[in-house]
Structure 1
Amino acid sequence: MQKTTDIPLNERSLLLTLAAIQFTYIVDFMVMMPLGPQFTRLFAISDAQFGLLVSAYTLAAGASGVIASFFVDRFERKTLLLWMYGAFALATLACGLSPTYWLLMASRIAAGLFGGVMGALVQTMVADAIPFERRGRAMGIVMSAFSLATVAGVPASLWLATHFGWHASFIAIALASFGIAAVGLRTLPRLDAHLRSGRVAHAGADIVTVLRDPAHRRAFAFTALLMSTGFTTIPFLTIFMTSNLGLAQAQVPLVYLAGGVATFFSARAFGVLSDRWGKVRTFRAVAVVAMLVLLGLTYLPPVPLWVLITMTTLFFVFVSGRMVPGMALITGSSAPAVRGTFMSLNGTVQSASMGIASMVGGMLIGRDANGLVTGYHHNGWIAVALSLLALWWVGRLQVRAAAPATSGVPMPAASESQGA
């Protein structure tokens, strides 16, 4: 297996910096949920008000995709990313300094707005800078930030919150973001090929260009299938495990620790496999296994802890593993000149799909007289149906060759040899 160190040095620096940016963004989002008891107690708010605090971030990130699509392709990538990252760090710092619920709400909305643009730009820069034949491995490296956030970022943030108060978690994330931004000034290449395409258009024209392209619309539909498959089941997994499978609340971190460690390695392995075996073929193979795991987990009876952790780890590995070849194909479907607009709108599709899938999934489950979750297997079957549709739809994606994206950092042209 080819290792990260085999990647050319300029690519490796780019990918590690982008992964670090993603790491802080993901930790900032994830740390809110386990801090819920502190927020409800200190701010004297209801569970519903806390839920609004969490969802405001996601909704803001989704809205930012539409807003960013009006301007994202009119700026050089590195400059815009670092400005958005700096604004995200300031908004996160404001979260840590917020004395009231409503100021915290405003700060979370700001962090979501800037973070949403930033997340889309990270994926855009990977697609601009890395040739398609190596993009699966590149996506695997960047997406391993999620695993690292689960294993290290969130536990470290919770340790800070326990010993120094919840403010410390957000202040630490903000300080880390400022440090990574400083590193990014040196390690990120200038990406401006889209500015040299000769296009002159009014504001909003790029959105029309993106939406008129059938390849883009097919990619958006594929994104919706990918996200909906996971989020019909993921939001209710912990509830199902603690209510039906006998998992103690204190054992929940073990599930996420095991899953995070496994996906840290599997994401990069799936990336290498995607580049060697073909992204469509790899996606289909991983998705088939994911369907079996989805059904097995949603029908699982009470089992020993080691069996449950084995099943949940397989769930994390294969359900998230689809995203590595999937995102490589999605980014490859975009026209290079409007890739930033495309990825911004794709981020909106991601957020909307997660929200709708979670809502539908919540409608499918219930509670019996004993407090056990009922109907969770229905969520599994919906996820399988969406996966089957994705298995067919992935063959309809059109992968484009990319124009040279950098100024001062030579990168080879893209190859379509492994496209759909």
Structure 2
Amino acid sequence: MEGSHDVSEAIRQTRYERLVLFILASVQFITIVDFMIVMPLGPQLMRTLQINPTQFGLIVSSYTFAAGVGGIIASSLADRFARRTTFLALFAGFLLGTLGCGLAPTYHLLLVARVVTGAFGGVLGGIAMAIIGDVFPEERRGGATGTLMTGFALASVAGVPFGLVLGTNFGWHIPFVVLALGGVPILLLARLALPPLDAHIHDVQTNPLKSLVETFSHRNHLNAFALIVSLMIGSFTVFPYLSAYLVSNVGMTENQLPLIYIFGGALTLFAAPMVGRFSDRYGKRRVYRIVAPASAVMLFVVTHLPATHVAIAVVIFGALMVCNVGRMIPAMAIVTSSVRRERRGAFLSANSSVQHVASGIGAYLGGMIVVESSDGKLENFGTVGWIAAAATLATLWLVGRIEVASDIDPNAAPSAASLAIAAAAEASVDAGEALVGLSGEHPTLKKDASIVSPIE
């Protein structure tokens, strides 16, 4: 009877974990589409709002800057509240900001709405990773992170192309309105399905300013921040200029550009969960040290790509997207595990801020190097590729300097779920089945102590 009870608890726990991942991945999908859709809507925004490219650039960058500031503020406050409370407040604010974008009649009001959206949306990713850290033990965080990353793939495959269709046929306001309304059911589901996740609060005794100082002075935190900075520079020196390079230098047309996002997103959709499972099975550092060099090679190849057939360009871009997400999955799993539970919300909010600021630095650095020639082609893109590849290879050393803080108390009795836990959550989630399986109270998270253990 006891064994049957343990198995029943394990199945219930697995359904619960799948529901959590479904909620987090859905929010990830909405926030990424909201961030990405602005860029391809650029021509329409500049035409209808009668703004110049510099003003349009401010619309894009205002989100990133607001996200950076929001992350700093959240890092001093996040661990003083239950994860569910923080998550719901941030997501509600994000949806209101997105709706404001859809209703904005002028450039300045749209700019204000993007600032609000970025301030809330930029922190959501960090809180989502904190929830992953609270719900999933370290040995299964890679798989959970891989499933969460499917939100990025789905955004590329379906979200952005569908948003472009809506924007082209019905006006640029409509994609934002649809995103805001589509997020309301997820907000309600999160309110009903997520437990409080407040086991960390009893450990929080410092004031916000002291918490902020401690977050940015801890050696392990600084090593994790350094890893994230190198990863973002390795990406954003290249990615903002890839579309222009593929059109002006490689020979693709603007109408063919959606193909690279659809193909790359489709590959990532299948690859992300696999990389997550491999990270848990073979060790996160080991998988990272395999994928990161491949990513460096692809960054070099794509930035030196000559005029070629569209199919070749699509395949190379797809391989780059897989490598990029493939390195982020074990890296984020390691970063999430590098901090003790009672500091996790503050740290991951700060990490979100660091990530956005580093992305802006990378994009600015790339813009300083890349120039447009008289015939419209981009020059010095190969130099940017060398810098991106070098930054990526530097992470092979940085990833070895991060220790993993485990939330496992060696003196505590194992829970029933941990004795017979089922397979890690998969990318395809049946929310209805998960809700049926949750007939009552949520699985309880123990207030375990934290110890430092070596990473695999």
Please report the TM-score for the alignment, with normalisation by the length of structure 2: 0.87
| 1:110 corresponds to 2:146 | no
Q: 2:377 aligns with which of 372, 376, 384?
A: 372
Cα deviation 1:224-263 (Å, max 9, x = unaligned):
1111111111111111111111111110000111001111
Cα distance in structure 1, aligned partners of 2:56 and 2:408: 45
Whether the aligned pair in 1 keeps the contact of 2:339 and 2:347 (CA below 8 Å) is yes
The number of residue pairs the alignment matches comes to 414
Alpha-carbon shift at residue 164 of structure 1 (Å): 2.3
Distance change in 2, residues 1:309/1:384 (3 Å): same
Distance 1:270 1:312 in 2: 18
Contact 2:127-2:348 at 8 Å conserved across structures:
yes
- The answer to whether residue 309 in structure 2 is matched with residue 273 in structure 1 is no
Bigger mean CA deviation after superposition, 269-278 or 82-91 = 82-91
Change over 3 Å in CA distance of 1:293–1:418 after alignment to 2: farther
The one-letter code of the counterpart of 2:81 is F
Q: Tell me the residue number matched to 1:244.
A: 249
| Residue 189 of structure 2 corresponds to residue 189 of structure 1 | no
| Structure 1 counterpart SS, 2:405 | coil
RMSD, aligned α-carbons = 2.0
CA distance in 2, matches of 1:7, 1:399: 24
> For the residues of structure 2 that align with 1:36 and 1:71, how far apart are their CA atoms?
35
The 3-state SS of whatever aligns with 2:407 is: coil
Q: Which residue of 2 aligns with 1:358?
A: 363
Deviations 1:138-182 (A, max 9, x none): 001111101101111112222222232222111111111111101
Given that residues 133 and 418 in structure 1 are in contact (C-alpha distance below 8 angstroms), is that contact kept between their aligned partners in structure 2? no
Cα 1:107–1:48, aligned 2, differ >3 Å: closer, same or farther?
Answer: same
Given that 1:190 and 1:408 are in contact with CA atoms closer than 8 Å, whether structure 2 keeps it comes out as no
Residues 1:177 and 2:188 aligned together:
no
From 433, 439, 443, the counterpart of 1:409: 443
**1:12-411 → structure 2 map (5 Å cutoff):** 12-197=18-203, 199-402=204-407, 408-410=442-444
> CA contact under 8 A between 1:132 and 1:415: conserved in structure 2?
no
What amino acid does structure 1 have at the position aligned with 2:38?
A: M
Q: Counterpart in 1 of 2:412?
A: none
Partners of 2:60 and 2:408 lie apart in 1 by 39
Q: CA deviation at 1:70?
A: 2.1
Greater Rg, structure 1 or structure 2?
2
| Kept after mapping to 1: 8 A contact 2:296/2:390 | no
- CA–CA distance in structure 2, aligned partners of residues 155 and 253 of structure 1: 7
Q: Which runs of 5+ in 2 are unaligned?
A: 1-10, 410-414, 416-440
Q: Deviations over 1:327-379 (max 9, x none)?
A: 00001111211111101111111111111111111122223332221111111
Contact 2:133-2:141 within 8 A present in 1 as well: yes
Conservation of the 8 A alpha-carbon contact between 1:26 and 1:146: yes
Q: SS of the counterpart of 1:281?
A: helix
Query: 1:3-29, CA deviations, whole angstroms, 9 ceiling, x for partnerless residues?
Result: xx9981111110111000111111111
TM-score between both structures, scaled by the size of structure 1: 0.94
The answer as to whether partners of 2:13 and 2:443 remain within 8 angstroms in 1 is: no
Shift in alpha-carbon separation, 1:408–1:416, aligned structure 2, 3 A: farther
Structure 2 SS opposite 1:371 = coil
Q: Does the Cα contact within 8 Å between 1:278 and 1:418 map onto a contact in 2? A: no
Between 1:383-392 and 1:271-280, the stretch displaced more is: 383-392
- Aligned partner of 2:436 in structure 1 is none
**1:415: how far off?**
9.8
Alpha-carbon offset, residue 100 of structure 1: 1.0
Q: SS at 2:111's partner residue?
A: helix
Separation in 2, partners of 1:104, 1:167 = 10
Once residues 354 and 333 of structure 2 are traced to their aligned partners in structure 1, the CA distance between those partners, rounded to angstroms, is: 16
Partners of 1:36 and 1:366 lie apart in 2 by 20
CA distance in 2, matches of 1:282, 1:410: 31
C-alpha deviation, 1:403, in angstroms: 5.5
Q: Distance in 1 between matches of 2:93 and 2:372?
A: 43
Counterparts in 2 of 1:381 and 1:128: CA distance versus 1, 3 Å = same
- Equivalent position amino acid for 1:419 in 2: I
What are structure 1's unaligned runs of at least 5 residues?
Answer: none
State the AA in 1 paired with 2:352: G
Match of 2:99, as an amino acid? L
**Does 2:419 match 1:419?**
no
Q: Distance in 2 between matches of 1:6 and 1:242?
A: 51
The CA distance in 2 between the partners of 1:243 and 1:376, in whole Å, is 12
Distance in structure 2 (CA, Å) of the matches to 1:353 and 1:410: 37
Offset of 1:418 from its aligned partner?
7.1
Measure how far apart 1:268 and its partner are.
1.0
* Cα shift readout 1:279-307 (whole Å, capped 9, x = no counterpart): 00100100011111111111221111111
Which amino acid is 1:207 matched to? Answer: L
Equivalent-residue separation in structure 2 for 1:213 and 1:331 (angstroms): 15
Mapped partners of 1:8, 1:159: distance in 2: 37
One-letter code of the match for 2:64?
Answer: T
Asked if structure 2 preserves the Cα contact closer than 8 Å seen for 1:64 and 1:348, the reply is yes
For residue 411 of structure 1, report the CA deviation from its aligned partner.
5.4
